Amino acid sequence: MPANGAINNWRPALTPPETASVKDGKTQPESHSPREALALLAQAAAPERRGLTKGLGWLVVAAALEAIGPILGKHFIDAHVLPRDFSLAPMALLLGAMLLAGWTASLLRYAQLRRMAAVAQRSVLRLREQVYAHVLAQPMAFFDRSITGQLLSRITNDTDAVNNLYRQVLFVMLDSSIVVAGALVAMAWLDWRLMLIVLALVPASSGIIWLYQRASSGPVQKARALRAELNAQMAESMAGMAMLQSAGAAQRFASRYESANRAQLQARVQELRANAWLLRPALDLLNVLLIVTVIYGFGQRELSGMEVGLLYAFLAYIARVVEPLIQITMQFSQLQQALVAASRVRALLREPSEPRSHRPDLVVGAGAIRFEHLNFAYKPEQPVLRDLDLDIPAGSFVGIAGHTGSGKSTLLALLLRFYPPQQGRILIDGQPLDQLPDETFHEALGLVPQEPYLIAGSVRDNIRMGRAIPDAQVEAAARAARAHDFLSALPQGYDSRLGDGGLAVSTGQKQLIALARALAGNPRILLLDEATANIDSATEAQVGEALRALRGRVTVIAIAHRLSTIREADQIVVLNHGRLSERGTHEALMAIDGGIYQRLVQLQALEE
């Protein structure tokens, strides 16, 4: 089977640098639109709308309380400091009110920001689950063109960045905007002409943001794309470590990683440079400009005693306008990163899932299979299966043989509904395969792939694979797969941990566990994709024994390079360039002089 073969695609594959798909942009900066990102936020936060509205409402109250402070201060100056009226009670009342307003505002803001942090966490949790479920529901063709590491990065890093987006948008942007609005309203109330002078300078900050965005958006997006690529490279090398080391490719992979890492650092430095040279100095200048303008505005008037309180209040409000604006702009680069991530997550969520029209009334009975004039191609110009017509009676054992690339695994992939055929159809017990409801379909089919994979968990978890299968049935399946003896001899028997960080078992043993896993669901149809390719003769004999016991009860289709595995099959189907070229029992096919099967058997005998 080719490295990117049909059935193998459901496990992480080592994608060599030169064949890496460039879907999703890879190193090129990706297009992103804030509207897309906001739509994603709104969608993920939809169930929390009430909490969010309440939180925002309270933030407005907090901003209003904060805005009262300078007005009270102005009153304090005008009524007590300037006229030197130091009557204790009204002064204490004013100071007390100032403190109370400030404290209440701080407490309110703290409580609301905490509430919003919780909303953000929950929304991101939901989003991540949604993205993962969506990826799992993708047709296999989607995985053919995606890079495992990049998908991982979408699900973990990008959804994390969406969390950032919540923090930036909800906490910094909204909160700061509310504070600015509160200050402007209070200024207007005190002196609307002066407020207009301050307001006129606010667009200058938008100009600074725009300039900064232009200078930094390229590097920001590049840095992000490179980070995803670094993750992808890491995941790929972990998945293909054995191959990587045996091929002596460690050095090459390390230098590829190093150059991507350097490029990412450069992009980050460019971004920081734009920040240091443009953003901070420009904002400081804006602050000075505002203060000078307001003082100049006051200079134009007669500076009476009453105006000193007003000047104090205005200077206090300017700080309340400028500081939040600085806050907003300082977060800008993170915001951009988060926007890019959010639009990538949204693009992923928009990948269409396989459309299927299931008929809930369909059930699988005996497990008879019929391939009717099947035509299939991964790429339109390269047909893989051509007009394949084949009947497989229920309960029979069918072996599939043929040269490499003849389309054997593809046939199984179509039966597994990984891809829809372009022409023809597949019938199970006379019913169209694509109309079987998912549950019925998954219950009816069991698969033993060429390279079984173990999940991190106990032997029992590995056989169950998340299905509600009672212990007795797990054990019965292990017995049927001839795996019980070695499994019960493990240190903790069926509770022994396998997979990542667990016990190491041999390839043959993994294969038997995979067979037990397939049998545990009591399938009507069992598919074996070169299940005996990498195991020793003793294990092969055990698998043969297990298959013999299934005869008449389960329809078995086995692809085998090792032809001894299918020698006893009721019929052996030989594919040649996607066409059915020979068909019959081992003996019948051996009788075809110069036949493909005969040659394959002879070749294998020679090899052995």
Ligand X SMILES: Nc1ncnc2c1ncn2[C@@H]1O[C@H](COP(=O)(O)OP(=O)(O)OP(=O)(O)O)[C@@H](O)[C@H]1O
Residues that bind ligand X (CB under 6 A): 1-2, 4-6, 9, 144, 378, 384, 402, 404-410
Closest to 149 measured CA to CA, from 245, 49, 231: 231
Minimal distance, residue 3 CB to ligand X, in Å: 9
Minimal distance, residue 131 CB to ligand X, in Å: 23
Q: Are 127 and 300 in contact (CB under 8 A)?
A: no
Closest to 238 measured CA to CA, from 149, 177, 319, 160: 149
In angstroms, the Cα distances linking 465 to 98, 132, 239, 516 are: 63, 17, 21, 11
Q: Please count the other Cβ atoms lying within 10 Å of the Cβ belonging to residue 425.
A: 16
**Of 240 and 449, CB closest to ligand X:** 449
Minimal distance, residue 144 CB to ligand X, in Å: 4
**Per the structure block, which two tokens stand in for 41?**
């936020």
* 555 φ, ψ (degrees, to nearest 5): -80, 125
**Of 12 and 407, CB closest to ligand X:** 407
**Of 6 and 369, CB closest to ligand X:** 6
**Of 146 and 216, CB closest to ligand X:** 146
- 369-379/382-392 β-pairing: antiparallel
**Of 144 and 372, CB closest to ligand X:** 144
**Per the structure block, which two tokens stand in for 431?**
């019913």
Q: Are 317 and 70 in contact (CB under 8 A)?
A: yes
**Of 553 and 577, CB closest to ligand X:** 577
Half-sphere exposure at residue 275, Cβ-oriented, CA atoms within 13 angstroms:
15
Minimal distance, residue 5 CB to ligand X, in Å: 4
By beta carbon distance, the residue nearest ligand X is 1
Give the chain's count of helices (H) and strands (E).
Answer: 22, 12
Cβ neighbours for 383, distance < 8 A, ≥ 6 positions apart: 375, 376, 377, 578
The stretches of 137-249 forming alpha helices (DSSP H) are: 140-144, 148-153, 159-166, 175-190, 192-239, 241-246
- Read off the DSSP letter of residue 399: E
**Of 412 and 518, CB closest to ligand X:** 412
Minimal distance, residue 415 CB to ligand X, in Å: 12
**Of 411 and 520, CB closest to ligand X:** 411
SS3 401: strand
Measured distance CA(433)–CA(556) in Å, rounded: 17
Minimal distance, residue 388 CB to ligand X, in Å: 12
**Per the structure block, which two tokens stand in for 599?**
């040659």
Minimal distance, residue 374 CB to ligand X, in Å: 13
- Read off the DSSP letter of residue 396: -
Measured distance CA(309)–CA(71) in Å, rounded: 9
**Of 10 and 58, CB closest to ligand X:** 10
Minimal distance, residue 451 CB to ligand X, in Å: 12
Minimal distance, residue 243 CB to ligand X, in Å: 17
**Of 15 and 410, CB closest to ligand X:** 410
Sign of the Cα torsion 263, 268, 271, 273 reads negative
Minimal distance, residue 392 CB to ligand X, in Å: 17
Measured distance CA(571)–CA(555) in Å, rounded: 12
Closest to 190 measured CA to CA, from 100, 70, 91: 70
Q: Are 44 and 162 in contact (CB under 8 A)?
A: yes
**Of 431 and 534, CB closest to ligand X:** 534
Minimal distance, residue 252 CB to ligand X, in Å: 25
**Of 519 and 560, CB closest to ligand X:** 560
Minimal distance, residue 242 CB to ligand X, in Å: 19
Q: Are 154 and 344 in contact (CB under 8 A)?
A: yes
